[in-house]
Structure 1
Amino acid sequence: MNVTGDQALVKKLNKSIVLERIRLHAPLSRAQLSSQTGLNKATISNLVAELIAEGLVYETGLGESSGGRKPLMLLFNSRAGFVIGIEVSVQYIQGALTDLAGAIETELTLPLSQHDPAFVMEQILKLIRQLMQAAPPSPHDIVGIGLGVPGMVDESGTVLFAPNLGWGEVPLRQQLETELGLPVVVDNEANAGAQGELYYGMDGEHRQLVRDLVYISAGSGIGAGIMIDGKPYQGAWGYAGETGHMTIDWNGRSCSCGSRGCWELYASEKAYTAPALALPAYRTAELLPFARHGDANTLSVFQDIGQYLGVGIANIVNSLNPEMLIIGGPLAEARPWLEQRMREAIDQRALPYHRRQLQIRFSTLGSRSTMLGAAYAATAPFLGRVRVSM
């Protein structure tokens, strides 16, 4: 038995527990940490000293006395380092420099005029370097980079299949880590969006209560980030959540995935390019002014998209029985014109017991869910969260 290794792992776990407690519940005293974690005072004292030396925790003020000296209170230093979160979409890439608590320092967007992997990689690197230059001085500088991409991603960070980009077997993580010399996390954009909503879109109370969540990313395509019992569900091989390619019309339009009648052809921005439509633009952000001014064609399209969104959501609700479902991505910005038809379709098609306590929300993060979720995914390893498999 490797005793040293076991002791080192226990210490790492304890240190992670202490830091997480301070991060989520500060200000806390050392005595409170000992009481809440069950670790003895000597262990707490040693771990806190290390965290202070690393710049991750600092002392502030005096707390309430319980009879003796007033204790010093501990706070998490969210500006001890910075991370970069990026969403790769079909028409653009957007990125943000955030602190370790998800507060945005700077954000940038670059258009994508083509989808060749080499060109997209060039644009990603350009965006990352611009964001890195905007980072303020900090003890740990840039600690990681996270990316959300519209496709299936394996454990090595290789994009196996991204039909909307025309990608297959692109080793995105490996290429970026080689180029930048920084840790990189790559995930499906809907999975990243679910984490963004859970960790940065909800307050602590709701985060603790919500265990089964589905995040629908509706933009240039549709994907679903699924959280079951508070943990990301990715399926046997990591590919779960490709809901945009469930068939809702068995003999419908041809899809870039090779199938027909896929949900995202009718309930995402792909619907704007249907031959029968004559829309003044093909991006949601560009269509919103027309909707606000009552353009009948634009309003009709948003209503149809809302109905199709509701049909697909009802299938997900009937299959997974989540307690909360969040709609995010660019189409969430069109909520005033699509929500009613969406909810009507869900009410008509979802089983009554499945929707009885279902909470349906639109993203509080708007189009930033994936970008911030990717930033969170890059933050978590640095903060030392360890998953132990028994």
Structure 2
Amino acid sequence: MNKTVLLNEIIRSYPISRAKLSEVTGLNKSTVSAQIGALLNEELIFEIGQGDSSGGRRPVMLVFNQQAGFTIGVDLGVKAINAVLTDLKGNVVESLTTEWAEADQEAEPKVRAAIDALLGKMPSSPYGLIGIGVSVPGLINREQQVIFVPNLRPDVTSLKHDLENRYDVPVNLENEANAGAYGERRFGAGKDHEEMVFVSLGTGVGTGIILHGELYRGEDGFAGEFGHMSIEYNGPKCTCGNRGCWELYASEKVLWDKYLPGHTVETLQRSLQANEASVLNELQKWCFYVGVGLNTVLNVYNPKVIIIQSRVIELHPMVLNMIRTAISSRVYAQADHSFELFPSKLSDHASAIGMASLAIEQFLQRRMMQ
């Protein structure tokens, strides 16, 4: 426990001296000296030049060795893979995006190819690759078993086992929206907020929930499936078996298929800049349904912050304002002023960075137990 406290403080406040560590943690100097020695031997920290003196000998400063190891986070989407190689501080060292045309192609070979490509660019380090995290757009239980993936081939059900055998490192699986919420909480727009909901708008609609600063998974790990709540009880049938699901009205897929067929991200951006009335009218219809679902999220969880990941929302502030207007037209006045609506700061890398962060935390926990 003492070693964990000291390492966490070094990560938070480096460069820092042994004396300052003793002061801020309340641990005596002999304990600090012993545990710092262990961390130096494990190459998780290193010493740099002397700091300023407040009288007497100038102190030697301690720094977290963020390149002691590296991790790979992979966001397995329906039409693309986003993957990142990060150091132990979550800094992205390399990234890649691989797209494919058919959603029913096998996923595992593409995940392996992305990992292998990043491994080829990984710098040398004391611990090398310390873990892999993969986010999947589906139901993942607390045992990290893939229960349901509506838009991918079922070969992902054995992904964790197969990757651990191939790369001989711990592998984590998580729902893509949960991973995105965790990434934004650690390094993105939710970094300073204890209560937040992350919403990803893509082929479907995913939501991840942060309560009291921690990822909320629910009893079985399925919490946050707002994309499959009915907003129209006699609506069309969803792949999940329900009818009138939110994602059938508010996903980006619906925007392109129903409201703006023939448009792309690039053409929509030009239309927004030109204030084309016909395009804005169709976009507003889609934003209305996004707001309908978010109104329910607000009523259920009362989060301080809602973060939306969407290529469309990133195009122009007007899109987020349309969604905010749709929420305001339906939510009670007190709630309307108690939350903030932000676009994702990490964009397409949110889930991949979230998975890398989970792998980093588990690695450091394992090291502290040794």
Superposition TM-score, scaled by structure 1 size? 0.87
Partner of 2:363: 382
Identity %: 38
> Alpha-carbon deviation of 1:385?
7.1
Partner of 1:8: none
Q: Superposition pairs for residues 254-293 of structure 1, below 5 Å?
A: 254-272=237-255, 274=257, 277=259, 279-281=261-263, 284=265, 287-289=268-270, 291-292=272-273
SS of equivalent residue, structure 1 residue 44: helix
Q: Superposition pairs for residues 115-134 of structure 1, below 5 Å?
A: 115-116=103-104, 119-134=106-121
Taking the aligned partners of 1:295 and 1:127, their CA distance within structure 2 comes to 40
Segment drifting more, 294-303 vs 104-113: 294-303
Partner of 2:97: 109
Q: Superposition pairs for residues 48-87 of structure 1, below 5 Å?
A: 48-87=36-75
Q: Superposition pairs for residues 315-330 of structure 1, below 5 Å?
A: 315-330=296-311
Taking the aligned partners of 2:290 and 2:323, their CA distance within structure 1 comes to 6
Amino acid aligned to 1:132 = L
Tell me how many residue pairs correspond in the alignment: 369
Taking the aligned partners of 2:242 and 2:265, their CA distance within structure 1 comes to 25
Deviation string 1:290-334 (CA, Å, 9 cap, x unpaired) is: 544556554444322222111111110011111111111434324
- Contact 1:317–1:355, Cα closer than 8 Å, also in 2: no
> Alpha-carbon deviation of 1:343?
0.6
SS of equivalent residue, structure 1 residue 147: strand
Quick one: structure 1 residues 352 and 229, their matched pair in 2 at CA, closer, same or farther if it must change by over 3 Å? same
Partner of 1:196: 183
Partner of 1:5: none
Partner of 1:91: 79
Quick one: structure 1 residues 222 and 134, their matched pair in 2 at CA, closer, same or farther if it must change by over 3 Å? same
> Alpha-carbon deviation of 1:274?
4.1
Partner of 1:10: none
1:236 to 175, 199, 219: 219
> Alpha-carbon deviation of 1:132?
0.5
Amino acid aligned to 1:36 = V
SS of equivalent residue, structure 2 residue 254: helix
Deviation string 1:36-92 (CA, Å, 9 cap, x unpaired) is: 222221121122122222222111222232322111111112111111111111111
- Contact 1:280–1:287, Cα closer than 8 Å, also in 2: no
Partner of 2:200: 217
- Contact 1:93–1:109, Cα closer than 8 Å, also in 2: yes
> Alpha-carbon deviation of 1:185?
1.0
SS of equivalent residue, structure 1 residue 67: coil
Quick one: structure 1 residues 169 and 128, their matched pair in 2 at CA, closer, same or farther if it must change by over 3 Å? closer
- Contact 1:78–1:99, Cα closer than 8 Å, also in 2: yes
Amino acid aligned to 1:341 = M
SS of equivalent residue, structure 2 residue 16: coil
Taking the aligned partners of 2:269 and 2:77, their CA distance within structure 1 comes to 19
Alignment RMSD (CA, Å): 2.4
Taking the aligned partners of 1:31 and 1:278, their CA distance within structure 2 comes to 62
SS of equivalent residue, structure 1 residue 257: coil
- Contact 1:307–1:345, Cα closer than 8 Å, also in 2: yes
- Contact 2:107–2:152, Cα closer than 8 Å, also in 1: no
Taking the aligned partners of 1:80 and 1:285, their CA distance within structure 2 comes to 41
Deviation string 1:205-252 (CA, Å, 9 cap, x unpaired) is: x74x52211111111211111011111111111100111111111222
Gaps of 5+ in 2: none
Quick one: structure 1 residues 80 and 347, their matched pair in 2 at CA, closer, same or farther if it must change by over 3 Å? same
- The question of 1:26 aligning with 2:26 is answered no
Taking the aligned partners of 1:43 and 1:50, their CA distance within structure 2 comes to 11
Deviation string 1:134-161 (CA, Å, 9 cap, x unpaired) is: 1011111111111111111123322111
Taking the aligned partners of 2:46 and 2:201, their CA distance within structure 1 comes to 41
Q: Superposition pairs for residues 323-338 of structure 1, below 5 Å?
A: 323-338=304-319
Deviation string 1:271-304 (CA, Å, 9 cap, x unpaired) is: 13545x46224x6467445544556554444322
Q: Superposition pairs for residues 33-44 of structure 1, below 5 Å?
A: 33-44=21-32
Partner of 1:353: 334
- Contact 2:4–2:368, Cα closer than 8 Å, also in 1: no
Taking the aligned partners of 2:186 and 2:321, their CA distance within structure 1 comes to 28
Amino acid aligned to 1:123 = K
- Contact 1:95–1:371, Cα closer than 8 Å, also in 2: yes
- The question of 1:162 aligning with 2:149 is answered yes
Gaps of 5+ in 1: 1-12
Taking the aligned partners of 2:330 and 2:127, their CA distance within structure 1 comes to 51
Taking the aligned partners of 1:58 and 1:163, their CA distance within structure 2 comes to 47
- Contact 2:177–2:200, Cα closer than 8 Å, also in 1: yes
- Contact 1:307–1:338, Cα closer than 8 Å, also in 2: no
Taking the aligned partners of 1:91 and 1:195, their CA distance within structure 2 comes to 22
Taking the aligned partners of 2:367 and 2:302, their CA distance within structure 1 comes to 29
